[in-house]
């Protein structure tokens, strides 16, 4: 890349004068907009969803992880959301945060990434940095993203910069301000551009030698968690048969100051990354004729956990001489993790399908998800019900799928005849005469 273009970009990035474009202003893109605005940058968000654009431009927080004060700051700094990609042409850096889901055959679906690249191809100008942040398999940026960007006639690494810097969002947990940013570049100059930009908003930048290494690092992070959660989920099933409390065993094991890291069991995996990332790697590994038995087994174990919770619920109902068919079941928690509003890939959605298929009437309570999408033609009310003593007494089983902090578990314990606890939320809570079964 010409030294003049590189120097101009670095100057704008370090002085916070660079205009930042973000493609996709959802769970990953909106926090990114907020992070750059806090650092003093002006941002333009592009998204085809008119509802998101309207909320963005009105300064309304529509994702719990981004507080209202951050939305106000975005507006104060001149940020706006647009529905025409052409308006991104004025941006100095364009960060792409689009979904990377799976197909029905559990294979990578890069449709959103391809569409974003082809859209940007017609508007890229010399000196811009394009950074892909969507989670994907090694080789995507170079083999799929770059060729589509270059259809407009400009060349990556010569006319414009290309980087890959995976999003590391932790809804309800760490703030983006506290998380180091990994990045790889198509060329050394591309990497220098990315470093100068992300250094302005991150506590630390972690440059790596290639686009592929940066892509691999994201998969490694999440597959590490997937495999360890699968291990502890399997241990839970074994220990339950033995009459041992897995949660107590974990508490004891984590007292060891070396060689052990605690992971916790649950009703299955949710969120965009951990349930999906392993399939991105196993798919790509086939190209290199590398078996991924360990990773695939972990995926199988985690995918089976909703069935295990449903089976434990059936066992509990049997003690009351009831079947799931015809029973009323209350699901506590629709979000995939505590204290967030994100239901992507949530095991609760699978539990609703399982219970409904067996003839149960299912309701849910989630303070963060007041309304939910309909789950096919299942017998499910898509509105969160208020949690009261009178309502709890009407259910044959209460299943704790997400342990939100704001739920009164004492109230649940005193007024429920059967509690299936998949999160250890009832630990230390005095229950009434009802039965509590850990699942």
Enclosing domain of residue 191: 3-210
- 277 in the same domain as 148: no
Same domain, 159 and 294: no
Identify whether 95 is part of a domain. Answer: yes
User: Residue 233 domain-assigned?
Assistant: no
Q: Which residues are catalytic?
A: 273
Answer yes or no: is pLDDT of 376 > 70: no
Rounded CA-CA distance 30/34 in Å is 6
Q: Which long-range contacts (CB under 8 A, 24 or more apart) does 53-62 make?
A: 53/25, 53/81, 53/82, 53/83, 56/25, 56/30, 56/80, 56/81, 57/81, 62/30
Check whether residue 66 and residue 202 sit in a common domain.
Answer: yes
Same domain, 258 and 179: no
Contact of 111 with 144, CB cutoff 8 Å: no
Residue 205 and residue 301 in one domain = no
Pair (153, 259) in one structural domain: no
Boundary of a domain, candidates 190, 210, 230: 210
Tell me, yes or no, whether 200 and 249 share the same domain. Answer: no
The pLDDT assigned to 377 comes to 58
**Looking at the structure, do residues 38 and 163 belong to the same domain, yes or no?**
yes
Q: Structurally, how many domains does the chain consist of?
A: 2
1 falls in which pLDDT band (50, 70, 90)? Answer: confident
Residue 216 is assigned to a structural domain of this protein: no
352 pLDDT higher than 90: yes
Shared-domain flag, residues 62 and 127: yes
Instruction: Flag whether 230 is in a domain.
Output: no
pTM: 0.92
399 and 307 belong to one structural domain: yes
Q: Which of 183, 210, 237 is the last residue of a domain?
A: 210
Question: What secondary structure does DSSP assign to 306-318, as a single string?
Answer: HHHHHHHHHHHHH
pLDDT in tens, 25-80: 999 999 999 999 999 999 999 999 999 999 999 999 998 889 999 999 999 999 99
Same structural domain, 191 and 252: no
Q: Is residue 393 part of a domain?
A: yes
Integer Cα distance of 44 and 47 in angstroms: 10
pLDDT tens column, 115-168: 999 999 999 999 999 999 999 999 999 999 999 999 999 999 999 999 999 999
CA angle 338, 344, 346 (to 5 degrees): 60
- Which CATH number is 7's domain given? 3.40.50.720
Domain membership of residue 411 (yes or no) is yes
Flag whether 108 is in a domain.
Answer: yes
Whether residue 217 is contained in a domain is answered as: no
Same domain, 410 and 360: yes
């Amino acid at each position: 890349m010409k030294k003049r273009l590189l120097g101009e970009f670095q100057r704008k990035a370090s002085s916070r004068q660079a205009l930042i474009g973000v493609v996709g202003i959802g769970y990953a893109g909106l926090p990114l907009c907020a992070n750059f605005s806090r650092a003093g940058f002006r941002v333009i968000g592009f998204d085809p969803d008119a509802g998101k654009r309207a909320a963005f431009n009105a300064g309304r927080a529509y994702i719990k992880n981004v507080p209202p004060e951050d939305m106000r700051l975005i507006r104060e700094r001149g940020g706006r959301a647009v529905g025409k990609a052409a308006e991104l042409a004025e941006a100095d850096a364009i960060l792409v945060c689009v979904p990377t889901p799976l197909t029905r055959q559990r294979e990578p679906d890069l449709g959103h990434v391809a569409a974003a690249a082809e859209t940007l191809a017609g508007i890229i100008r010399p000196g811009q940095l394009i950074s892909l942040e969507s989670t994907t398999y090694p080789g995507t940026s170079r083999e799929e993203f770059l060729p589509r960007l270059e259809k407009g006639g400009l060349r990556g690494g010569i006319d414009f910069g290309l980087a890959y810097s995976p999003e590391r969002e932790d809804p309800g947990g760490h703030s983006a301000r506290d998380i180091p940013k990994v990045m790889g570049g198509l060329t050394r100059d591309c990497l220098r551009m990315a470093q100068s930009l992300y250094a302005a908003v991150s506590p630390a930048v972690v440059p790596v030698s290639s686009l592929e290494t940066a892509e691999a690092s994201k998969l490694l992070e999440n597959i590490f968690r997937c495999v360890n959660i699968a291990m502890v989920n399997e241990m839970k099933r074994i220990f339950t048969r033995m009459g041992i409390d897995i949660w107590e065993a974990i508490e004891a094991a984590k007292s060891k100051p070396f060689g052990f890291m605690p992971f916790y069991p649950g009703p299955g995996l949710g969120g965009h990354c951990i349930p999906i990332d392993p399939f991105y790697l196993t798919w790509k590994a086939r190209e290199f004729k590398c078996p991924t038995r360990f990773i695939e087994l972990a995926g199988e174990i985690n995918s089976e956990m909703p069935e295990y919770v449903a089976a434990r619920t059936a066992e509990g109902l049997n003690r009351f001489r009831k079947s799931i068919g015809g029973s009323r079941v209350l699901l506590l928690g629709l979000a995939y993790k505590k204290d967030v509003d994100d239901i992507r890939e949530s095991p609760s959605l699978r539990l609703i399908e399982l219970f409904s298929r067996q003839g149960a009437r299912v309701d849910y309570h989630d303070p963060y998800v007041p309304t939910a999408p309909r789950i096919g033609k299942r017998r499910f009310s898509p509105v969160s019900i208020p949690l009261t003593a009178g309502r709890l007494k009407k259910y044959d089983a209460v299943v704790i799928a997400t342990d939100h902090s704001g739920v009164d578990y004492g109230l649940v314990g005193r007024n429920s005849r059967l509690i299936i606890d998949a999160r250890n939320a009832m630990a230390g809570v005095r229950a009434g005469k009802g039965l509590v079964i850990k699942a």
